[in-house]
Amino acid sequence: MGSQVGEVLLYYCYCEVKDPEKLCAWQKALCQHLHLTGKVRVASEGINGTVGGSKVATSLYIKVMLSQPLFKNILCQEDFKSSAGGAHCFPDLRVGVFKEIVPMGIDPKIVSYKETGIHLSPQEFHREVEQYLSQASRGQSDTILLDCRNFYESKIGHFQGCLAPDIRKFSYFPSYVDENLELFKDKRVLMYCTGGIRCERGSAYLRSKAVCREVYQLKGGIHKYLEEFPDGFYRGKLFVFDDRYAICSNEDIISACRYCGVLWDQYKLCSSQHCRQLVLTCPSCCNKGLTACCPVCQEKELKVTSRASGQTLKEECECTRRRPRVPIENVSPRMLDTGK
């Protein structure tokens, strides 16, 4: 069970959970019994997890999850996305009860997963993207290919011709939509994210604004798409929220070292002790001591102030200060039409 060789599972299931605390306790006991690490979010609207362990353990985990009466006829084998890894990909196990299983910051009763966009299989999505790129090259597209992940995710990998919002958190996505409603007016929107869960609520929010002609989403997310189209229209690496930071399916490198500009897509944490920003810095620059996310962090350790309660606050670095919370998208129709 505790073998280093294994895999990481990513899954979610939207369903009515009458006793989240009970489900949380059961889930924690199950993961501990199987020696799994990772993160599991439980809410009245369902469950969302990413766990790592030996292949024996992850296989047993899937079997138990599928036999759980709460998920019967809702969750299926195909809903579990897997990648090479193991328990070592996470520092520990964290299982908790939250208001949302994906933090969009809006009450699930106001914007429900039941009002999602139209789900497209990887094959259907592939055909749609192919058609979109073909039309865009001729300046005839009425479609937006929307990446609803964070900027540091799309920076190292994305679909060709996509619109990737410059947002730091998914909870900023609703405000991004509100600030850019004109951009989506009368458009067909093809949405995608890592495993599909952010599109469930994100597409529901976009539909609630009643400005788009149609809203579609990639079922199973990039994970499932890459299983069938490893050399398709998605280029670069797929960012993951564990100690691996990224997994790859093709050899393309679409991002660059923050310091010298050479092609590079392997993230590291900023070397400043109290900073949690990710930085792209190549081996050559690392050897020169350039290991921080920005000059502020590079020149000094971030100062930490203490609250009376004993909690600490980290000083915002230059990267955070210069990035607007929710940017207004300056994308001209011509740029969208050419797929840039």
Catalytic residues: 193
Count of other CB atoms within 10 angstroms of residue 290: 17
- Using alpha carbons only, what angle is made at residue 336 by residues 332 and 340, rounded to the nearest 5 degrees? 105
Contacting residues for 249 by C-beta, under 8 A, at least 6 apart: 226, 230, 231, 234, 238
Are the C-beta atoms of 111 and 39 separated by less than 8 Å?
no
Torsion of CA 231, 237, 238, 240, to 10 degrees: 150
Question: What's the CA gap between 181 and 95, in Å, rounded?
Answer: 36
Are the C-beta atoms of 37 and 61 separated by less than 8 Å?
no
Distance of CA 278 to the CA centre of its chain: 15
Q: The dihedral of CA 292, 297, 301, 307: what is its sign? A: negative
Return the structure tokens found at 185: 């007016």
Q: What is the DSSP string of 246-274?
A: EEESS-----B-TTT--B---EEE-SSTT
